[in-house]
């Protein structure tokens, strides 16, 4: 997911730092180049890639009309599609309820104070649901799909939407004032994650505030560095001479739940929290440049030295990790598992391979960066939870290289192998992991178009990679089968590991979808002809595989004047006659991004996260001007004059009960 940092002067623009120019200086080929060469070399491809040299003039819709395999009758999804559009509220398919379960500021404990948006404090926020909910996970209690722990990441904050009196109009422009220390403290308390017990009562989900496992994790929660980087000199600071204790987790985007029931929080755009300058000729200068540090989007360094590079130059090395939380012990210390590498992690979804090893798939959300996977050394023990608790401290991290012929390799990122040697500045495995991106550069990994969620599918044995967009693709990269300079709408790639083995080091890849409006020939989208005008989408971001093995895709960036539609959740067929057919199931309010999604094990509830609603409104005729606390494009979900807009988690269920989309 992208980061939308506040501006001192706007109109309110969603600043997509992960979607910037990119920080990858290597000459490694881009995914767009590889797709283009592959298509032009093969000339004609079957199935969802049925695109030939005449695509540039005829257009993908006309081409796919000739493909008799595009029939709606084989769809795995049964529901009446939502109409695409944009307005102030959310919409769900006919026959379903979409109930707001948790909003920013809602109580999580019996002693949580009431939400008071005009007098919010850090102490109150630490006992309330955080801001900008992103990843949503569900951990059943007693094996039930109707009682469990909801785990939710809180990625970042939008102060212009959160705090009254912060924004003024100067010379016709909207100007945001400097944050106070109290406001920064609220921001820090609103980051992190929530663990809360929920229960379904009479068909409706409810929070259990007396739940003994309920917990808030914030930007100040004590955490432990584990694995190869723990104790290394490059993560030692004035506050932690051991290099093993870190305070807080930042910018937790997507995440995961492990097979043994722990909660994974992935740190993404950590670069935006740091300001200041490194001392002259500092050894970390090139490392930080590769990650875009410092960006200075947040103002935390004004009050806390650890976010000022001049005062704590090693602090950024303590972020960008995968964090594991033992949800069954609310006093447990979360652990940053450094063996999985340091990047701008979109998430970490896992699957148990046939040999018992656990495989995690990871995307690094920036233009021209890479896709990774991690394979544990040890095997998962389903009968002994304690035996699994440190599996993530030992294993092999791989980076993906995609070839023109449709094959791929997973390149091991192991110190001493290939270019990952002392001669290239890697004195140990810790150095490889701290500078994961540079290691990928040297190994020759494939530059991707913003890899976000990466989901293994245990039902069909394949892996789905969401590539959100890359508008920096140049015109000289355009070819007949990739007919768009500036890839504004993104791709979805499908990986098949060799022999169906998720631990394999090689496999095959295919493009499931090139996204965008298929009625516009120059866009080059490849949805099936059964996809309606409501069913196409762009900017795939998060995805979910439900218990039946069906793919659901949520978007970030769909909502703009050109598309005339909001972000949402789409059901995407991946099998048989209906492959590449997409249907709109849920859409978010104006300015919002669709995050989550997550299905309960019985497929009877879908949880979705509506993030940063009202962050925009200039392109919507219903508002047509910048949106901020006093003049919001929507006051979703409360729609009360004394309540600001509030990011929230929504529970979707079928009216009368039953499995979703069946």
> Which pLDDT band holds residue 87 (cuts at 50, 70, 90)?
very high
Residue by residue, DSSP assigns 350-375 as EEE-TTSEEEEEEEB-SEEE-EEEEE
> For residue 574, which of 408, 452, 457, 450 has the smallest C-alpha distance?
457
pTM reported for the whole predicted model: 0.92
In 190-273, which ranges are E strands?
192-201, 204-207, 215-217, 222-226, 245-247, 252-257, 263-267
> Which pLDDT band holds residue 402 (cuts at 50, 70, 90)?
very high
The domains of the chain, with CATH numbers, are 4-165+175-268+320-654 (2.120.10.30)
| Integer Cα distance of 294 and 527 in angstroms | 40
pLDDT higher than 50, residue 49: no
Q: What local confidence, expressed as pLDDT, does residue 513 receive?
A: 94
Q: What local confidence, expressed as pLDDT, does residue 23 receive?
A: 86
Segment 50-60 shows an average pLDDT of 32
Query: Which region holds residue 190: left if phi is over 0, alpha if psi is between -120 and 50, else beta?
Result: alpha
Q: What local confidence, expressed as pLDDT, does residue 40 receive?
A: 54
Whole-number percent of the chain with pLDDT over 70: 89
């Amino acid at each position: 997911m992208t980061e939308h940092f506040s501006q001192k002067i706007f109109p309110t623009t969603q600043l997509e730092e992960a979607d910037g120019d990119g920080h990858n200086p290597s000459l490694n080929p881009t995914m767009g180049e590889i797709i283009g060469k592959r298509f032009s070399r093969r000339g004609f491809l079957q199935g969802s890639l049925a695109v030939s040299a005449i695509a540039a003039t005829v257009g993908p819709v006309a081409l796919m009309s000739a493909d008799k395999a595009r029939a709606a009758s084989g769809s795995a999804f049964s529901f009446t599609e939502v109409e695409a559009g944009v307005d102030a509220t959310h919409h769900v398919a006919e026959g379903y309820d979409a109930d707001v379960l948790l909003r920013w500021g809602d109580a999580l404990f019996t002693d949580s104070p009431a939400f008071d948006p005009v007098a919010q404090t850090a102490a109150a926020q630490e006992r309330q649901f955080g801001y900008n909910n992103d990843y949503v996970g569900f951990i059943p209690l007693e094996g039930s799909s109707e009682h469990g722990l909801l785990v939710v990441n809180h990625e970042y904050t939008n102060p212009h939407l959160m705090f009254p009196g912060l924004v003024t109009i100067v010379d016709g422009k909207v100007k945001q004032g400097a944050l106070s220390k109290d406001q920064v403290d609220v921001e820090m308390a609103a980051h992190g994650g929530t663990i809360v017990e929920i229960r379904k009562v009479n068909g409706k989900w409810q929070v259990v505030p007396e739940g003994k496992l309920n917990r808030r994790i914030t930007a100040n929660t004590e955490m432990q560095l584990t694995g190869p980087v723990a104790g290394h000199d490059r993560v030692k600071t004035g506050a932690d001479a051991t290099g093993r204790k870190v305070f807080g987790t930042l910018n937790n985007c997507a995440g995961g739940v492990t097979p043994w029931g722990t909660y994974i929080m992935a740190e993404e755009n950590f670069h935006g929290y740091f300001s200041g300058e490194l001392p002259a000729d500092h050894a970390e200068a090139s490392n930080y440049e590769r990650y875009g540090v410092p960006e200075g989007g947040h103002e935390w360094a004004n009050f806390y030295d650890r976010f000022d590079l001049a005062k704590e130059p090693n602090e950024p090395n303590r972020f960008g990790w995968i964090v594991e939380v033992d949800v069954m012990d609310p006093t447990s210390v979360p652990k940053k598992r450094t063996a999985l590498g340091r990047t701008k992690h979109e998430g970490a979804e896992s699957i148990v391979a046939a040999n018992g090893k656990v495989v995690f798939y990871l995307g690094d959300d920036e233009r021209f960066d890479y896709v990774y996977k991690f394979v544990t050394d040890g095997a998962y023990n389903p009968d002994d939870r304690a035996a699994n608790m440190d599996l993530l401290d030992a294993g092999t991290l791989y980076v993906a290289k995609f070839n023109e012929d449709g094959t791929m390799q997973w390149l091991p990122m192991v110190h001493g192998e290939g270019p990952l040697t002392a001669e290239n500045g890697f004195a140990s495995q810790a150095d490889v992991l701290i500078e994961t991106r540079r290691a990928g550069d040297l190994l020759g990994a494939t530059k991707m178009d913003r890899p976000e969620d990466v989901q293994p599918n245990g039902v069909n044995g394949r892996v789905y990679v969401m590539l959100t967009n890359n508008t920096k693709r140049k015109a000289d990269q355009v070819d007949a089968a990739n007919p768009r300079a500036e890839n504004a709408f993104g791709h979805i790639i499908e990986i098949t590991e060799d022999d169906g083995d998720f631990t394999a080091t090689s496999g095959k890849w295919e493009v499931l979808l090139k996204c965008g409006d298929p009625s516009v020939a120059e866009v080059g989208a490849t949805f099936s002809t059964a996809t309606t005008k409501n069913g196409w989408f762009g900017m795939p971001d998060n995805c979910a595989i439900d218990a039946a093995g069906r793919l659901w895709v949520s978007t970030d960036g769909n909502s703009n004047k050109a598309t005339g539609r909001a972000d949402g959740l789409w059901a995407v067929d991946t099998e048989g006659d209906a492959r590449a057919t997409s249907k709109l199931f849920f859409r978010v309010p104006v300015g919002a991004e669709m995050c989550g999604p997550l299905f309960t094990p019985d497929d009877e509830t879908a949880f979705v996260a509506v993030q940063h609603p009202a962050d925009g409104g200039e392109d919507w005729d219903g508002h047509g001007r910048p949106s901020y606390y006093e003049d919001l494009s929507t006051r979703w979900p409360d729609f009360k004059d004394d309540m600001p807009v509030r990011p929230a988690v929504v529970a979707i269920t079928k009216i009368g009960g039953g499995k979703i989309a069946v």
